[in-house]
Amino acid sequence: MNTSAEPLKGPMIIDILSPQLHATAGPSNDLGWQNPHDHLPLTVEAHNTGQLGFSTQMDFQNFNPLHELECPPGFAQISTDPKKLHFIDLSHLHDQAVQHEEYSYKRQEISQGVAAKDAMKQDRENVNEMVETSDVKVLGAWSSPFAWRPRIALNLKNVDYEYLEQNYLVVKSELLLKSNPIHKKVPVMIHNDKPICESLVIVQYIDEVFTSGASILPSDAYDRAIARFWGAYIDDKWFSSLLATLKAKTEEEKKTAIEGVSTGIELLEEAFEKISKGKDFFGGDTVGYIDIALGANLPWVRVVEKLNGVELLDETKAPNLYAWSEKFCSHPAVKDLIPETDKLLEFAKTLIAKWSAAPQ
C-alpha cells in the first residue's frame, strides 16, 4: 500500500458504468466496494442517474486515492485521473451476461474495459453490416442510365454486390422475367432473394436499408420531397425529351426534342443554385438523390450532343451544371461505371437504326 502519496483534498468523482447498480446514499460497502479505509467517514450521493449507469460523488476528505483499491467483481478500472475514477461493468460489454471470476485491480493505468467495449460494438456493427449486405445482386445493362443508378448508390454506401449483365434487348433472362414480371426491364436489385424494381425506388431502398456511408436522401422531410419531385421530373419529363432526340423521325421532331432538353437544363441549373446552397452537388458535399437521378443520364447527353452537333450542357449558359457534371463523373462512386462516349455512340446508332426500321 502506498502511504507516501499526498492525500487528495476535496471531493472525488467515481463513475460506475453499470445498469445493474443502484444507490442513493450510504457507506462505500453499499456499492460493493471493499474500502481499505473503513475507519474514514464516507458520504455518497448519486447525482447523475441514467440508463447506462451513474456517477457518485464521494467526499473522502483525507482519503488517499493512490492507495490500493479493491474493484468489485466483474468491473474494470478504465481511468487513472487522481480526481476521477471510472469503472465499467464488464458483463455489460456482452449481449448476454457473462459469468466472471473474482477480479481485483490495483490503482494503475488500464484501458482494456473501453477497448473491449469498443471492440464488441464494432463487432456487432460488422455483423449487422454483413447481414445487411449479404446476397446483393444487381441486374443491369452496361448502356442503361437507369441501371447505373443503383450501382452508384451501392458504391456510395460501400456495399459489395454481384453485378449480372443482362442483354435484355436480345433475350430476357429467366432471372429477369422472374424478378421483374411486370415491366421485364433492368435494373433489378435482389437483396436476400427479394427483388426490388425501378431505379429510383431501388436507390431509396438502398438509402433506407444500408446505414454505411452518407445519406442519399436529405434528412429534412421538405428537402426529401423536393428531391423526389426533381427525380420524377427528370424521369417523366426531361428524359423523355432526351430519348425523343434519338427516336425522332423528322428534323422538326428532333428540333422540338432538343429544345425540350435545353429547357430542362435551364430549369435544373436554377434548381441546382437553390438546392446545392453553393456546394458541389445537389446533395451538398456529396452525391445525393438528384445527383444520381440526373447524373446517370450525362453519358447519353454527350451522345446526343455528338449525334446532333449541339452543345446541350453549355458552360456559358449553365455554368453550375457544367461544373457539377465534371465533379459527378469523376466521383469515385461513379467514374468506373461510366462507359466511353464513343462506345455508347455506336450503340446509340444501332438503336436508331432499329427504331427507324420499325413499322410506323
Q: Which of 213, 248, 283 is the C-terminal boundary of a domain? A: 213
Q: What was the pLDDT predicted at 360? A: 67
Which of 213, 240, 271 is the C-terminal boundary of a domain?
213
Does a structural domain hold residue 6? no
109 to 30, 102, 117: CA distances (angstroms): 26, 20, 17
Please check whether residues 120 and 41 belong to one and the same domain. yes
**Residues 66 and 196 placed together within one structural domain of the fold:** no
Q: Which range is least confidently modeled, 49-63, 197-211, 246-260, 275-289?
A: 49-63
pLDDT > 80? residue 287: yes
In-domain check, residue 2:
no
**Average pLDDT estimate for 54-71:** 39
| d(C-alpha 322, C-alpha 262), whole Å | 13
Task: Name the band, by pLDDT with cuts 50, 70 and 90, for residue 350.
Answer: very high
More confident residue, 269 or 20: 269
Task: Assess whether 208 and 223 both reside in one domain.
Answer: no
Considering the domain architecture, whether residues 42 and 121 belong to the same structural domain is answered as yes
CATH number of the domain residue 290 falls in? 1.20.1050.10
- The CA distances from residue 232 to 17, 155, 226, 228, 302, in Å, are 50, 22, 10, 6, 22
Q: Are residues 152 and 190 in the same domain?
A: yes
Q: What is the full DSSP assignment across 319-358?
A: HHHHHHHHHHHTSTTTTTTPPPHHHHHHHHHHHHHHHHHS
Tell me which DSSP letter residue 90 carries. Answer: G
The answer on 273 and 352 residing in a single domain is: yes
In this structure, the answer to whether residues 80 and 152 fall within a common structural domain is no
Q: Same domain, yes or no, for 245 and 291?
A: yes
For the stretch 165-201, pLDDT in tens is 999 888 999 999 999 999 999 999 999 999 999 999 9
How far, in whole angstroms, is CA 176 from its chain's centroid? Answer: 28
- For residues 7 and 1, the answer to whether their CB atoms sit within 8 Å is no
CA angle 293, 298, 299 (to 5 degrees): 125
Examine the domain organization and report whether 225 and 334 are in the same domain: yes
Q: Phi and psi for 149 in degrees, rounded to 5? A: -60, -55
The residue with cell 426529401 is 224
Q: Are residue 207 and residue 223 in the same domain, yes or no? A: no
What does the pLDDT look like over 310-326, one tens digit per residue?
999 999 999 999 999 99
At which of 169, 190, 213 does a domain end?
213
The half-sphere exposure of 148 on its side-chain side, counting CA atoms within 13 A, is 22
The reported pTM is 0.66
Range(s) of the domain holding residue 17: 11-125
Which of 113, 82, 109, 111 lies closest to 18 in space, CA to CA?
113
pLDDT in tens, 110-143: 344 445 445 555 654 554 444 444 599 999 999 9
